[in-house]
A = this chain, B = another copy of it.
Amino acid sequence: MGITIRDVAAAAGVSTATVSRALRGLPNVDQVTRERVKEVAACLDYVISPSASRLASGRTGSIAVITPYIARWFFSEVIASVESVMQQAGMDLLLMNVGDYQNGHARIPPTPRLRRRVDGILIVSLPPQDPDLEPILSLGMPTAMIGGIAPDVECVVIDDVAAARKASEYLVFLGHERIALMAGGPAEARFTAESQRERGFHSVMTQNSLVEDPMLEVFGHFTIEGGESAMDALLNQSNPPTAVFAMSDEMAFGAIRSLRKHGLEPGRDISIIGIDNHPMSSYLGLTTVSQPVSELGIKAGERLLGQIVGIDSPGGNGRVSELPTELIIRSSTGPKT
């Protein structure tokens, strides 16, 4: 079938060892020899067998990206940026979805699929209580994490507390007092980002001596539809909020739609603010706090590579990098009337 390193060695008149060294750019190879080998290899259209190389070297040349979702905006954007980093580094990227951890779907545990198969793992936004998280981390291999924090793991995040504070403070600044919080789900099953954002919101409310009416905490499940029905519920209350802090733009979209459906105008009748700066946000005039999604992926990818190459220690000593967020004011928010 394929042509092997031995064929190249024979054709170049050297040993397989020399071919291996020459092709991989290792030192201690004569320039002339190296060139000849390369030429012969190209001529023969030789490509190395990854399986053999991996078996012999112990390195797989690939990493796994583990995510709970693939097609959602945040995740696909992260995956895309990680892919570009890995492609440039010559690494293969294995995509592994751990499925909807909400319902008890027949989820295939990722751990066995990870061992002996990849050199590193990039975890995207697995909530701390995810049953797959702990087993993955105890694999003890180079690992990086996006959108979450775990001990002894290299993490790349935004400051979710600060992001939530920016959003909340802006609403307060506009004079709002009855502010609703639209979270994803109940406190037991939250992403790290969710808990942090709640903390940020909470701290602003407290600082400004505003009461958090339990009736004003609703769940939108990070989807448009969820946001819409959550807003519906809010509007059906006897004493609706004058502003809503949604933990994601997509939920905010749903909230806006609900508003319109009820004949209300976002920013005039009720203010809506989100977090993300989703591409559709500028389109819909949604005020939001932007997060640098691609940068999260790029930085985490690079940090992971650092661990694999050995510059960094596995887990990167648990270093946490925080990337900046920014309040982006549009028309969905306005002063309390």
Contacts and interface: CB of A to CB of B under 8 A. Distances in A.
Contacts of A58: 1
Contacts of A71: 73, 76-77, 79-80
A253 B97 contact: no
A131 interface: no
Interface string A93-120: 1111100000000001000110111000
Contacts of A2: 115-116
A23 B76 CA distance: 36
Closest 3 CB pairs of A and B: A76-B76, A51-B54, A70-B80
B283 A116 contact: no
B112 A97 contact: no
Contacts of A129: none
Given A71-B79, A283-B257, A95 B97 contact: no
Interface of A: 1-2, 47-52, 54-55, 58, 60, 62, 69-73, 75-77, 79-80, 83-84, 87-88, 92-97, 108, 112-113, 115-117, 224, 253, 257, 279-280, 283
A83 B95 contact: yes
A95 B54 CA distance: 19
A169 to B, nearest CB: 29
A104 B70 CA distance: 28
Most chain B CB neighbours (cut-off 10 Å) among A69, A96, A253, A280: A280
Contacts of A279: 224
Contacts of A73: 71
A46 to B, nearest CB: 10
B283 A115 contact: no
13 contacts: A1-B58, A47-B115, A47-B116, A48-B116, A51-B60, A71-B79, A71-B80, A75-B76, A83-B96, A87-B96, A92-B117, A94-B94, A94-B95
Contacts of A92: 94, 113, 117
Contacts of A62: 94
A323 to B, nearest CB: 18
Most chain B CB neighbours (cut-off 10 Å) among A79, A95, A112, A280: A95
Nearest to A62: B94
A76 B55 CA distance: 33
B94 A108 contact: no
Contacts of A93: 94-96
Contacts of A116: 2, 47-51
Nearest to A75: B76
Contacts of A52: 51, 55
Nearest to A97: B83
Nearest to A98: B87
A106 to B, nearest CB: 9
